[in-house]
A and B are shown apart, each in its own frame.
Chain A
Amino acid sequence: MRIANQHTTVSVERATLRLAGLAGADHERVPWVNHLVDAVREGAGLEHGVTLPVWDALRRGAAPDLLTLAQMASSRSVDFRVPEGKDATAAARQSRTAVARGIRTIDAQRATRDRLIKRHGDPKQRPWVYLIVATGDIYHDIPQAQEAAREGADVIAVIRSTGQSLLDYVPEGATREGYAGTYATQENFRLMRAALDETSKEVGRYIRLTNYASGLCMPEIAALAGLERLDMMLNDSMYGILFRDINPIRTFVDQRFSRQVHARAGIIINTGEDNYLTTSDAVEAAHTVTVSQLLNEYFAKEAGLEDWQLGLGHAFEINPDLPDSFRMELAHALLARTLFPDAPLKWMPPTKHMTGDVFRGNLLDGFFNLAGALTGQSILLVGMMTEAVVTPWISDRDIALQNVRYVLGAAGGLTEDFHPPRDGFIQTRARQVLSEAIDLLQEINDEPGKAPLLEAIADGTFGEMKRPATAGKGLDGVVVRAAGYDNPAITLLENGQTR
């Protein structure tokens, strides 16, 4: 955590400007927040944060408003400096006033969500049914999402275009072209939320919307999610490091800010433990899931998130050819449920062992649904029998939802009858995984050096990937804070203030 408080990143600073109301992009779709942060970095450095030099320039009359300043800065026609003394105090005060407006918008959106949930209601059953749409075109995503909600989905996730996690800017506007997903933009967020508000009214329950606060722009996307009332965000403490090779320090700094925003916005985070099991063996590596859940919980609480906001992840990824594979799945799922009784756990479907045999895939998804029902999972990501074949067809989604409805309808209440005996296979296996998890935590703690977790990540403890702290994408966007660093967003978020 020291690491997060000693550094800032270009994306944290851009997110701060977005909260102050700076939006839009130039004719080449480069966002104004990028122009302004880059110009300040060149002219005055980011060690004191972006807001002091920016509001100092506004006070000196360099431009009449923030947008004009950013436009002028893009052609490098503004001189920035780090103000001192009274100038610094005044710049800090004015930037705080501007950023506080964004924070109050987030507060208002949270209140709106609470009001809509009261009006339309939560889903009647647990787990909530979570479904992905991914056409690449927001105007196709919208009717698909609305249809899915009518068919029983409670949570809609718009999966992102695969390139986005490594873009060091947030694209602008409504987008119609993406690969295996749709770009996360403020306008796309707004369009989809508005459409689902309509559908919520129609189906008589509040339909939640999910996107991804991950990759190089995690803090900005978190801010946009808060401003546009998204309800859940994928936000894992280590995913970007391990699976996108993003620099560990960049990730920890960005992640802390984004989680503070999520905490404030009443957003439920979803963590990505399922991913370890796609690269490691789901039986051998079961304990790394538990360890990651505990780490995610720690970082989340540290950033101010409450138990009800922790959608810790886990997945049904054991090789179905192994004897007792389903019993082991139940053991792992029950372990997570028991360790985190108040967290809305997210239960993820099989992917690794799905094949072109769609009939077998449908059966496997049925068992996945059953495990979710038996062990009382909170959010169930709907598995597709065509997982390994195509991006889901309309009929695939229908068949998958039918599978979920059948299992939850037939066996949804079974969780109250399901108490495996203490000396039986399931409890014994759960205890074994837990003790391996404790051993691994001990091992991480015993690593020599200053930052044991960073070193564990560096030497390949998670997902069998080695990620040293001195390498990875986005490292050049990390800046060591100076003594006089000021960020009004962080101050407002940490103190719970509104002005």
Chain B
Amino acid sequence: MSRATSQPTSPDDVTALPRVIRPYGDQTGDGMVQVSFTLPMPNGKRAEGAALQLAGKMGIEPAIVVHHKSIGDGFTFFVVYGSVKHLVEPGLVEVVEREFPLLSGKEINAAIKRRLHRKLVVVGACIGTDAHTVGIDAILNIKGFAGEKGLEYYREIRVVNLGAQVLVPDLVERAREEKADAVLVSQVVTQRDAHIHNTQAMSAAFREAFPAGEVPLLVVGGPRFEEGSQDALGVDRIFGRGTTPGEVASYLVHALVPRHDQAQA
């Protein structure tokens, strides 16, 4: 719970960054990278040459094939080391900063109690065919994740975890019954973009079922969502790999608990 203080929230000072850098092997500026890949061709001189050709097109030059091995019929696995000629300009990187402060468990409970005057209701589920509850459980179950307790642990949050393979209409219905403030959906399976289709279907269903302005806060989590794609998905916030329950709870407070009387609290 001490993460709030240990994590700097101020953005990097862009002017203090070097203008260009290159990957680092063992000397500044050597540009060394290591890549591995498989080509669909039998092992041999031609395959090795093909691997070098690919490396060259990736900007790795000179490159050395340090390992090539036949894996199955007509496939060769390569490990390539080499110096990449591209330059990296750290100052041009766009960073999505966390738009909310990280709060401790105590602060979260206190904020909800004093400013919302009731428990905050969270309904969570894995939707569609996705049966992987690892993500939603890590955030919701008391057990938690990365040493942080899950949302169930927060005295002022009421959690309804519907588990795996919940149908979207059931989720909408349950959210209505429980008067959910927020709906948390986890999507792990990404084959054929299942995570995107499921999420879009879910957000569309909520917007259809609730009058505008009364839709619960829609939050989706999973390892493969693209940062910044919340609008395309129709949700309020995306959380990626490694998100902890404390971050989600802090966000819920930021998004759902009115702040105008903060001074009084």
Which A residues have a C-beta under 8 Å from some C-beta of B?
A: 136, 147, 150-151, 161-163, 165-166, 179-180, 243-245, 278-281, 352, 356, 388, 391, 393-395, 398, 464-465
Residues of A within 8 A of B165 (CB): 162-163, 165-166, 244
Q: Are B241 and A356 in contact (CB under 8 A)?
A: yes
Contact B134 A179 (CB under 8 A): no
Instruction: Say yes or no: A162-B129 contact (C-beta < 8 A), given A244-B164, A245-B163, A352-B134.
Output: yes
User: Bound state CA distance, A68 and B241, in angstroms?
Assistant: 54
Within the complex, what minimum Cβ distance (angstroms) separates A389 from chain B? 8
Instruction: Verify B38–A243 contact, CB threshold 8 A.
Output: no
B71 near A395 (CB under 8 angstroms)?
yes
Interface string of B29-41 (1 = CB under 8 A from A): 0000000111000
User: Separation in Å of the A154 CB from the closest CB of chain B?
Assistant: 17
Q: Are B38 and A393 in contact (CB under 8 A)?
A: yes
The digit string for B153-197, where 1 denotes a CB below 8 A from any CB of A, is 000000000011100000000000000000000000101101000
Output the least CB separation between A452 and chain B (Å): 24
16 A-B pairs (CB sep. < 8 Å): A150-B72, A161-B129, A162-B132, A163-B128, A163-B129, A165-B131, A166-B165, A179-B194, A180-B189, A243-B164, A244-B131, A278-B134, A388-B223, A394-B38, A398-B69, A398-B71
Whether B143 contacts A464 by the Cβ 8 Å rule is: yes
Task: Report the separation of the CA atoms of residues A398 and B67 in the bound assembly, to the nearest whole angstrom.
Answer: 14
Docked Cα-Cα span, A393 to B69, in Å, equals 15
Determine whether the beta carbon of B77 is less than 8 Å from that of A398: yes
Separation of A225 and B77 alpha carbons in the complex (Å) = 36
Closest Cβ of chain B to A279, distance in Å, is: 6
- Bound-complex Cα distance A347 to B159 (A): 34
A244 and B129 CA atoms in complex are apart in Å by: 11
A278 neighbours in B (Cβ, 8 Å): 134
Q: How far is the CB of A33 from the nearest CB of chain B, in Å?
A: 23
A388-B223, A395-B71, A398-B71 given as contacts; is B143 within 8 A of A279 (CB)? yes
Whether A179 pairs with B71 at a CB distance below 8 angstroms is no
B132 to chain A, nearest CB (A): 8
A279-B133 in contact (CB<8A):
yes
List the 8 shortest-distance A-B pairs measured between CB atoms, nearest first: A163-B129, A398-B71, A162-B129, A147-B72, A162-B131, A395-B77, A395-B38, A180-B189
State in angstroms the CA–CA spacing of A398 and B194 once bound together: 27
Which applies to chain A's interface (DSSP): helix, strand, loop or mixed? loop
Contact A391 B72 (CB under 8 A): no
Select A394's contact among B72, B128, B137, B223, beta carbons within 8 Å: B72
What chain A residues lie within 8 Å of B128 (beta carbons)? 163
Nearest CB to that of B134 among chain A residues?
A: A278
What's the least CB distance linking B174 to chain A, in Å? 13
Contacts of B194 in A (CB 8 A): 179
B236 at the interface (CB under 8 A from A): no
Which partner residue on chain A sits nearest B73 by CB separation? A147
Q: Are A398 and B131 in contact (CB under 8 A)?
A: no
Report B71-117 residues with CB < 8 Å from chain A CB. Answer: 71-73, 75, 77
Q: What residues on A are CB-neighbors of B77 within 8 Å?
A: 395, 398
Determine if B71 and A394 form an interchain contact, defined as CB atoms under 8 angstroms apart: yes
Min CB distance B265 to A, Å, is 34
Cβ contact within 8 Å between A279 and B71: no
Asked whether any CB of chain A lies closer than 8 Å to the CB of B130, the reply is yes
**Chain B residue at minimal CB-CB distance from A180:** B189
CA distance A210 to B10 in the complex (A): 53
Bound-state Cα–Cα, A431 to B121, Å:
43
Q: Are B130 and A280 in contact (CB under 8 A)?
A: no
Q: Which residue of B lies closest to A135 (CB)?
A: B191
Q: Are B72 and A243 in contact (CB under 8 A)?
A: no
Query: Which of A150, A391, A394 has the largest number of chain B CB atoms within 10 A?
Result: A394
Task: From A180, A244, A280, name the one whose CB has the most chain B CB atoms within 10 angstroms.
Answer: A180
Please, how many angstroms separate the alpha-carbon atoms of A465 and B163 in the complex?
10
Bound Cα distance from A245 to B38, whole angstroms: 41
| Docked-complex contact A464 and B191, CB < 8 angstroms | no
Q: How far is the CA of A484 from the CA of B27 in the complex (A)?
A: 84
Q: How far is the CA of A394 from the CA of B76 in the complex (A)?
A: 10
Contact across chains for A179 and B72 when beta carbons are under 8 A apart: no
Is B141 close to A, CB under 8 A?
Answer: yes
Asked if A151 and B131 sit within 8 Å, CB to CB, the answer is no
Q: Are B191 and A136 in contact (CB under 8 A)?
A: yes
Name the A residues within 8 Å of B37 (CB-CB).
395
Neighbouring B residues of A395 by C-beta, 8 Å? 36-38, 71, 77
Q: How far is the CA of A151 from the CA of B192 in the complex (A)?
A: 28
Smallest CB-CB separation from B137: which chain A residue?
Answer: A279
Q: Could you tell me if A281 and B129 are in contact, using CB atoms closer than 8 angstroms?
A: no
Write out the residue numbers on chain B whose beta carbons fall within 8 Å of the beta carbon of A136: 191-192
* Residues in B210-226 with C-beta less than 8 Å from chain A: 223
A481 to B193, CA, bound (A): 45
Chain B contacts of A465 at CB under 8 A? 163
| Complex Cα–Cα for A151 and B75 (A) | 13
Q: Which of chain B's residues have a CB closer than 8 A to the CB of A279?
A: 133-134, 137, 141, 143
Given contacts A162-B165, A244-B164, A280-B143, 4 further A-B contacts (CB under 8 A): A151-B72, A162-B132, A394-B38, A398-B69
Given contacts A136-B191, A166-B165, A395-B36, whether A243 and B133 have CB atoms under 8 Å apart is yes
**B162 to chain A: closest residue by CB:** A245
Contacts of B131 in A (CB 8 A): 162, 165, 243-244
Q: Which of A136, A151, A465 has the most CB of B within 10 A?
A: A465
B71 and A180 within 8 A (CB)? no
Chain A nearest CB from B77 CB (Å) reads 5
Q: Which residues of B contact A179 (CB under 8 A)?
A: 129, 189, 191-192, 194
Q: B232-253, CB under 8 A of A: which get 1 and which 0? A: 0000000001000000000000
A206 to chain B, nearest CB (A): 21
A residues within 8 A CB of B75? 394
Give CA–CA (A197, B38) in the complex, Å. 29
Chain B residues with Cβ under 8 A from A464's Cβ? 141-143
Complex contacts, B223 vs chain A, CB 8 Å: 388
- Chain B hits for A161, CB < 8 A: 129
Residues in B whose Cβ lies below 8 Å from that of A162: 129-132, 165, 189
Q: Which of B132, B133, B191 contacts A391 (CB 8 A)?
A: B191
Min CB gap B108→A, angstroms? 22
Find chain A residues with CB under 8 A from B38 CB: 393-395
